Structure 1
C-alpha cells in the first residue's frame, strides 16, 4: 500500500518519527479479524478476547462468513475490535433505561453492540441517511433479534423536530477514513487534505443539527475512524466551547495501550487537554479509532415537542384510521399473540399496519407515534406476520427474535449444514415425511434459522428473498464458527 505523501508528512509531524514509523509498518500488515457474539442466542465464548468488550473476540483466521448459517442467524456480528470501545462509555455512564440514537448507524456494528449493552427497557433508534444502507441496517438489527429497536432513514436535520428527545446520542460520523487504510484501499485512494477539510466541516454540521435533540444531562458520544486532529481533537474542543459539553473520563486499563489527547497544551488552560481515546494499529490490536464523550449541561432548558406537532400526529392518525378498514382481523391478532411467549408478550402491543402485524413496546408507543410525524420509519419493533387472504404468515423477524418467539407455537425441524445453506439460498428444501404440515420453524444447531410452510410434497421457503445467499457454489475450504460455541 502506497500512502499519500501529505498524509505521511502530517501524521509524522503529529506522532514523531519513531511512532510514525511503527504506524507505517502496522499499516502494511494484515488486519486482525474480530467478531462480537450475540449473548441473546449463544452463551459460550472464544479464547482470544477483545479486552474492552464483554462480547468481542479475535479470530485466528477469517471465517467464510457468507456460508456460516450462524452468521445469518444473528449469532455474531463481524465488527472491528477498536470500535467496540463504545461499550465502555455505555457501561460506565448508563445505569437505567434510556432512549438512545445511533445517528450514522449503517451497517449496524455499533447499533447491535449498543443494543446488547443498554439496560433492558431501553429503546434504540438507529438511523442511516442513505436509503439502501438503511435497509442493510434494518436487516442486521432484525437478525440480531432485539425487539426494542426503531430503524429510520433520515438526514440529521430531520431530527430537529424532536428536541430534548434522546438520553444518549452516538455520532460515529463520516470521516476521511485514515484508520481503515489497511482494510479499505478505496479509503487510501480517496484521501486528500481537501477531503479532510470537507469532513471536519461536515462533522460540525451534523453535530449542530443533532445537539438540541439531546436532553439536558444526556450523554453525547462522538467517534471517527481517523487519526488527524482536525476531525478528532479539534472537533472535541469545538463541542466543548460551542455547546458547553462536559468532557467525560472513561476508565481504561493501561495495557489496552490507548493513546490520549494529541493537542494538549500545558501553557494555555483554554486549550487544556480533553480526555479523548485514540486507537492506533501499532499499539492496539485493531484499526484506527477515536472517541470522546460529553455530558450536556444540566442547566440547559429542556425544549418540549410543540403541541401543534402532537395535534398533527393525532389528526394524521385519525385520518389514516378512517380511510379504509384493516384486513387484519381479531382472529389474526389472536393468532399473532399466540406466537409470542408468555414471559414477554404483555410488555408489547400488537400494531396492525396495512396487512402486517408488529409487536412494539407498550412503554414507548407514544415516542413511536411522535417519531412517525417527522421521521421515515424503516422498521419498528418486531414484525410478527403478514395477512394474505385468510392466512397469517409468520415473518422472518419473529424467528430471529428469541425473546418474543414462542417455540412451542410452531413445529420445529433441526436441519444440517447442507440443508441450512439450501434454505439460506431460498431454494426448495425437503423435510422428513414425519414433519407436520403448516408453518415449521427450522433450526440449525438448535438456533432458529427461519420458517417454511410444509405442504406435504414440498416445503415453501419463507426466507426473505433480498437476504438470500446469491452464490451458487460452495468454497472448497469452508471455515465456520466452531461447534463448541453453541453447545
Structure 2
C-alpha cells in the first residue's frame, strides 16, 4: 500500500500523467546488470552467456535481463564479470564521466554500484576514494569493490564532515548519491514505503544540504559533481539543488544529453527554483524502463594547472622502503609472474596485510580506512599467503599457475569442494571460462580449496 499523502502529492505534481504513473506500480520492474570492462567486453559477454540482453541507453556497459536469467546465481557473478544494478541507478555515474588518472570521491558509496561503475571508467588509473558513513554498509561496499577486482580504490568509513576537514579542493570529480526518502524505490523496496513520512522527507532534505556543502569544499575549481537521489520529492531534488546553488554561487548546473524517456527538472515544484533547474534530470517509471531517480550535474567555476594537487591534511601515504619491499616482492612471485616496476614502489603494510596503494594515496592516519588499495596478501610466519582480492584483480596470464573450470565445476569450487589435479605443486589461480574466481593450492594430486569460507555458497 502506497502512503496516501505521497499519492496526493504525486497527483498534484503529475496532473494528467498521474494515472500512467500509478499504473506503473502494477508492472514488473526492470532488472539490469553492468558488465565489468576490466574482465570482459560486450561481444564476448553476449557470446558466452544465454542471458536475454537488451542495452541500457545511458550506460555503455549496461544491459537489461529477463527474470529467468538469474545472473546472481551464475558463477560469473562471483567472478566479478558483472554487477547487478537497477537501470536508472546507472545514470548518475555515467554523467560523472570519470577519467583515468583523476582523483575521484564517491561520498555516499554503499553498496558500491556507482563506485564500481566509476572504477570501470577510470580503468585502474588514478585514485578513487569510496566512502560510506555506516560501518556495516561500508563493509559491504568494500566486499563489492573486491569482487569487481578494483585496484585503485581507498575505501573509508567516515562522515562527510570529517573528510571535508581533510581535503580542500582536492578531487577532480565527486559523486553524491545522497541518502533520501527512497520514494523511487517503493516498487522495489517495501521497507522504504513503510518508513516514508513527510517529516522524513524534510529530514532527508536538510541532511542532503549538509552533505552537498561538504562535497563542495572538496571539489577543485573546474571540477564536476553529480548529485542524485532515488526519490520523487521536490524538496530533495529541485529544492535541494536550488538551495545549494543559492548558497554556493561558484557552482552552476551543466546541461547534458537526455536520453529518450528522461524528463526535465520542474521549476514549479519548488518555491525558489534556480534559473537553470530545467537542466536537471527526472527519471520516472512511467516514462522509461527503470525506477525513479533524479540527477543534477554541477560544475565549480575556475581552472587549475596540469600539476594541480589540491590540499590533503594527511599528506600522502609513504610506501615500504625498497629494502623492506624486496622481501615481499619475492613472496609475491610465488603466485604472481612479473610485477610492474611502478607497482613495486607502491607497497604498503597495513598490520599484517600487504596492499598495493593507488597513485598518490592520502595517508591513512586519522581516517578509518577499510581498504587502502588492492589487498595482495597476508603475512604468515615469514611467508605470504595470496589474498582473495588479488585473485579477482588479475588475469590467468598474470598468475604463475592457473586452473580453468567449467561452469558446473565452478559451482562445486564456490561451495568449498576440492578436486583432483595434476601439475607442479603450489598456488593456482582458479578460473571459470577464463575468469578468475579465487585460489587453490595443489598438493599431491588434490587441489585444495582456498575460496573464503565466508563467501562459499551453493549456486
d(CA) in 1 for partners of 2:312, 2:391: 39
d(CA) in 2 for partners of 1:74, 1:268: 45
1:227 counterpart SS class? coil
Shift of 1:460: 3.0
TM norm structure 1 = 0.84
Partner of 1:110: 114
d(CA) in 2 for partners of 1:377, 1:38: 25
Q: Does 1:257 align with 2:261?
A: yes
Q: Is the 8 A contact 1:423 1:429 kept in 2?
A: yes
Shift of 1:215: 1.2
Cα 1:232–1:461 change in 2 (3 A) is same
Q: Is the 8 A contact 1:221 1:291 kept in 2?
A: yes
Structure 1 stretches lacking a partner, 5+ long: 475-487
Q: Which has the higher contact order (CA 8 A, sep 6+)?
A: 1
d(CA) in 2 for partners of 1:67, 1:410: 29
1:283 counterpart SS class? coil
Shift of 1:37: 0.6
Q: Which of 5-14 and 161-170 deviates more?
A: 161-170
Partner of 2:328: 332
Partner of 1:34: 32
Shift of 1:391: 2.6
Q: Does 1:359 align with 2:356?
A: yes
d(CA) in 2 for partners of 1:273, 1:428: 56
CA RMSD of aligned residues (A): 3.0
Partner of 2:379: 387
Cα 1:409–1:119 change in 2 (3 A) is closer
Q: How many residues align?
A: 444
Alignment counterpart, residue 414 of structure 1, candidates 395, 399, 404: 404
Q: Is the 8 A contact 1:159 1:374 kept in 2?
A: no
Partner of 1:74: 80
Shift of 1:22: 0.5
Q: Is the 8 A contact 2:171 2:310 kept in 1?
A: no
Q: Is the 8 A contact 2:88 2:291 kept in 1?
A: yes
1:175 counterpart SS class? coil
TM norm structure 2 = 0.88
Cα 1:271–1:60 change in 2 (3 A) is same
2:39 counterpart SS class? coil
Q: Is the 8 A contact 1:336 1:357 kept in 2?
A: no
Q: Is the 8 A contact 1:87 1:117 kept in 2?
A: no
1:52 counterpart SS class? coil
Shift of 1:343: 8.0
Partner of 2:194: 189
1:207 counterpart SS class? helix
Cα 1:98–1:306 change in 2 (3 A) is closer
Superposed CA deviations along residues 337-368 of structure 1, whole A, max 9, x for unmatched, are 5755658553452223333222124x31xx32
1:374 counterpart SS class? coil
d(CA) in 1 for partners of 2:312, 2:96: 30
Q: Is the 8 A contact 1:175 1:199 kept in 2?
A: yes
